[in-house]
Amino acid sequence: SHRPTVGEPIICQGLSFPCVTVVSQACPLHTHTAQLNSNRSSVVRCGRQVYERGFPVLLLRPDGSTVHIRYREPRRLLVMPVDVSMLSEEERRLRLKKREVKRSPQTPQAEEYHDQFRADQYTQFWKKK
């Protein structure tokens, strides 16, 4: 009457064939091995942290050419940034001018409305009788 320790194989006689099971180290009451075979993949979700396949996206390069790629986020178009150091001086000034904050010359003032509304005409509706 030998009691097995954790991690020690247990040999038991079945109906017509011997089977070997290992006691799990996490739970001593667990008496069968995990089935890590091809049937496991059809039952369990994908265990990856990052999925390899992405969403089909059209990549626009700085020279204007386009390429279909797979990207981690669902987007229709992905634009590569233009290298400003490779541009001519005139193109660089135009791009920097577009980035600047456009300030309006005058701040818009609130318009005053002139109407014929007089609140004392409607005092009969909110006075208690």
Question: Quick one: average pLDDT of 85-112?
Answer: 82
Say whether pLDDT at 114 is over 60.
yes
What CA–CA distance (Å, rounded) separates 50 from 41?
A: 17
Q: Over pLDDT 90: what percentage of the chain?
A: 22
Residue 41 has a pLDDT of 57
How far, in Å, CA of 77 to CA of 2, rounded?
A: 68
The amino acid present at 21, given as its one-letter code, is: T
Which pLDDT tens digit goes with each residue over 43-95? Answer: 556 667 776 788 999 999 988 999 999 998 899 999 999 888 888 999 999 98
- Judged by DSSP in three states, 90 sits in helix
On whether the CB atoms of residues 12 and 22 are closer than 8 A, the answer is no
**What is the per-residue pLDDT for 58?**
96
Whether residue 14 has pLDDT greater than 50: no
The pLDDT assigned to 17 comes to 42
Q: Find the range with the poorest average confidence among 13-17, 28-32, 48-52, 106-110.
A: 13-17
pLDDT score, position 79: 94
pLDDT in the model for residue 6: 60
Is 27 a residue whose pLDDT tops 50?
yes
Q: Is residue 20's pLDDT more than 50?
A: no
